[in-house]
Chain A
């Protein structure tokens, strides 16, 4: 398996532009998570999906952020309009079905991240 695939790896854009980050989870994984990493706040969970349905988006900072998962193999995180404070590394992670107290529970596999710079 190629692992969790994110694109683009690097994005530089100007304030006010729309940014779309993409993620392909591991095949068979039914949970998908979007995290944001900054020096000031560390790793923050933005939103997660189960079976393509958004379950908890309480970490999404504001309405400028939106995430979708149209099918089991693809998710997007969109920022519109972007602002300099959105500059961060955005990680996508996926996880397989939760087993009952087994070693598979809660183990996330992360992508390599998308580094976003908003000028």
Chain B
């Protein structure tokens, strides 16, 4: 069965600092990997996705993520965070032929001035 682990429940970062959110997955075949962001009171919005090819993927709002098969990881990064990035971030794994996405428990990001 597929699973996702987001080891950090809550991260606090200063505005302008760099950010890395961790995601580890477990899946036997080649995974599809996603990062979603959820602002308070809102639904989830897709930030970026990886299906195949280049292991460094670019997303919206200046985010990027790198797929590392050897580490079973798909960490999300941003070089300089903005106060508007404060939200909850979810990593998810799926696969070709498997319609069910499995989500991690989320990482809440707080931005301090």
Is the pairing of A and B real? Answer: yes
- Among B70-113, those with CB < 8 Å from A are 90, 94-96, 99-106
Q: How far is the CB of A44 from chain B (nearest CB, A)?
A: 8
Q: Say yes or no: B45 contacts A106, CB within 8 Å.
A: no
Q: Say yes or no: A31 contacts B99, CB within 8 Å.
A: yes
Interface centre among B32, B43, B90, B94 (most CB of A within 10 A): B43
Question: Which B residues lie within 8 Å of A102 (CB)?
Answer: 51
Q: Say yes or no: B43 contacts A50, CB within 8 Å.
A: no
Asked if B56 is an interface residue, CB under 8 A from chain A, the answer is no
Asked if B26 is an interface residue, CB under 8 A from chain A, the answer is no
Chain B, interface size category, equals 20 to 34
Interface centre among A105, A106, A108 (most CB of B within 10 A): A106
Q: Say yes or no: B99 contacts A48, CB within 8 Å.
A: yes
- Among B30-70, those with CB < 8 Å from A are 32, 34, 36, 41-46, 49, 51-52
Q: How far is the CB of B68 from chain A (nearest CB, A)?
A: 20
Contact A56-B100, Cβ < 8 Å, known A101-B51, A101-B52: yes
- Taken together as a complex, chains A and B put the C-alpha atoms of A100 and B105 apart, in Å, by 29
Q: Say yes or no: B44 contacts A110, CB within 8 Å.
A: yes
Q: Say yes or no: A103 contacts B49, CB within 8 Å.
A: yes
Q: How far is the CB of B58 from chain A (nearest CB, A)?
A: 13
- Taken together as a complex, chains A and B put the C-alpha atoms of A55 and B99 apart, in Å, by 10
Q: How far is the CB of A4 from chain B (nearest CB, A)?
A: 7
Asked if A25 is an interface residue, CB under 8 A from chain B, the answer is no
Chain B residue at smallest Cβ distance from A108: B101
Question: Which A residues lie within 8 Å of B101 (CB)?
Answer: 45, 106, 108
Query: With A102-B51, A107-B49 given, can you name 15 additional A-B contacts, CB distance below 8 Å?
Result: A42-B103, A45-B100, A48-B100, A91-B43, A98-B99, A105-B51, A106-B32, A107-B34, A108-B44, A108-B101, A109-B46, A110-B36, A110-B45, A111-B43, A113-B41
